[in-house]
Structure 1
Amino acid sequence: MASHAHPVTRAIVTGHTRGLGAALVEALRGRGIDVLGVARSRRAPDDSPAALPGRFEEVELDLSDSDALAQWLAGDTIAAFLRGAERALLVNNAGTVAPIGPCAVQQPADVGRAVALNVAAPLMLSSAFSAATAGLQDRRIAHISSGAARNPYAGWNVYCATKAALDHHARAAALDGEPALRVASVAPGVVDTDMQGEIRGTDDARFPQRERFAEMKRAGQLTSPRDAAGKLVDYLLSDAFGQTPTADIRSL
């Protein structure tokens, strides 16, 4: 029987193959937590150190395809993975900053894909996770949010809107009073990932604040994925998690 101090914990992480998601997998496994990663591709065979204590499984699934996601969620993969857990975690990390630019230059299909990936997938996963963990005494959902959820940026109307949706989902879900379910939408700060590279590579006309992010990179002001993931996991496992529906790692 697991001790109260170290409950058997299993975590589901989306967008786990690179950047913050990959770092979250290592941070969780380093604490002995089993992880199920869900993303449109698998990690490279040599990109997941076997020496870490937590078990690691992967599912290859395009989270921007809502029909495919619904079909997968109708199966028993999540329930089977979580079987025997005393504490269950869901980290909705997958997301996209595209399309960048004002409404007139956005392709409607790209807008639809962004909303499906950034909003529909986390909300669908949250519903399935909540149902699958109904009997557990400790279950936690973390949406990876952004400062863009709380502050508007020119050129990021889709990104800002989709991240704000996650924040408001957490606020409303917290009012539902589901037993033992904690939900929080957490901004990790400006993390040095491929997404930041995409932002710096955007034309100034589409994203007027591009230079600000480029200067942060030059000045060494970006947080490493490993540091951000460590802080996020510390918070996710803490008693403080879920006490407020939105949080920013930089102010914790």
Structure 2
Amino acid sequence: MSKNTIAIVTGHTRGLGAALAETLLARDIRLLALSRNTNAALAARYSGKLEEVELDLTDLDALGRWLEGDALRTFIGDADQALLVNNAGMLAPIGALADQNAATIARAVSVNVAAPLMFAAAFAAQAAHVADKRIAHISSGAARNAYPGWSVYCATKAALGHHARAVALDSEQAGDRTLRICSVAPGVVDTDMQAEIRSTGLERFPLRERFDALKRDGQLATPRQSAEKLIAYLLSDAFGSAAIADVRELG
């Protein structure tokens, strides 16, 4: 009997998130995808396999109400394997501390930290009966390396890594072999976020020219390339052996 695997992905309408969603669907994995908008192209191509929810992850009250409802539990159902990919994220605000807008900081912390932690907790509770549960936080090299102008982005991505470490310790101490978690950096991917970086003034992001060079020299991975590596790792026996990983170091 084939394994009944389901997956949940946030931020699936463009870039890496869209590629992650398509990679999972192409593997015949039923997908629940959540974003502010729907992905019409994916929905048309994978009718019957894709369930979409329009949800703004900056609205934590609305997210909390959705997570407390029955939708997530119903989707998980009697799955043998359940995957959660916390992909949604935002780069702004970019700039020195005194130039950062309070509302934009709040949005970034909501999308990059609060929402994935809320999803992870709800997923662990509502998939408690599933023998193989896996949580992937989509991270960044900025989680390990500080960049000028990116203090909020660096801090929020680092938070996901520390969350993964602590949750892994909880599972280890409880002797729970059913839950695996990892904060995974996807490498430098050619997405809208990269375009946002290249359009930022040097006064706000002094290292911009480094990212200009990556694009100019063809050193950016495509979303599909990164998604294939991420999903292969997520489904592998090695997933969760370390709480922090980078696809560029996985071989």
TM-score between both structures, scaled by the size of structure 1: 0.95
CA contact (8 A) 2:197 2:208 kept: yes
> What's the secondary structure of 1:240's corresponding residue?
coil
What displacement does 1:51 show? Answer: 5.0
CA positional deviation for 1:54: 7.4
The answer for the alignment partner of 1:11 in structure 2 is: 7
Query: Aligned-pair distance for 1:84?
Result: 2.2
Matched, 1:99 2:93: yes
Q: 2:151 matched to which residue of 1?
A: 157
Residue aligned with 1:205, SS: coil
Distance across 2 between alignment mates of 1:54 and 1:41: 18
Residue 73 of structure 1 deviates from its aligned partner by: 0.6
Corresponding residue for 2:214?
Answer: 216
Match of 1:57 in 2: 51
Q: 1:196 aligns with which of 187, 194, 197?
A: 194
TM-score with structure 2 setting the length? 0.96
Give the share of equivalent positions with the same residue, in percent: 61
Aligned equivalent of 1:85, options 79, 94, 110: 79
One-letter code aligned to 2:60: S
Q: Distance in 1 between matches of 2:43 and 2:118?
A: 30
Residue in 2 that maps onto 1:37:
33
Q: CA RMSD, aligned part only?
A: 1.2
| Aligned counterpart, 1:115 | 109
Query: Which ranges of 4 or more aligned residues in structure 1 deviate by more than 4 Å?
Result: 49-54
Q: Which residue of 2 aligns with 1:125?
A: 119
- Paired residues in the alignment total 246
* Structure 1 Cα separation of the partners of residues 223 and 82 of structure 2: 23
Find the aligned partners of 2:7 and 2:216 in 1 and give their Cα distance. Answer: 35
What does residue 169 of structure 2 align with? 175
Cα distance in 2, alignment partners of residues 85 and 55 from structure 1: 14
Distance 1:19 1:51 in 2: 17
Match of residue 19 from structure 2: 23
- What residue ranges of structure 2 are gaps of 5+ in the alignment? none
Distance in 1, Cα, partners of 2:80 & 2:97: 46
Partner of 2:230: 232
Q: What is the CA-CA distance between 1:50 and the residue it aligns to? A: 4.6
One-letter identity of the residue aligned with 2:16: L
Say if 1:32 and 1:52, in contact at 8 Å, map to a contact too: no
Partners of 1:49 and 1:64 in 2: CA distance? 24
Q: Unaligned stretches of 5+ in structure 1?
A: none
* Alpha-carbon spacing, 1:63–1:51, altered in 2? closer, same or farther (3 Å): closer
Which of the two has greater helix per residue?
2
- Go from structure 1 to structure 2 and tell me whether the alpha carbon gap of 1:59 and 1:52 turns closer, same or farther (over 3 Å shift): closer
Counterpart CA distance in 2 for 1:231 and 1:50 is 25
Aligned to 1:251: 249
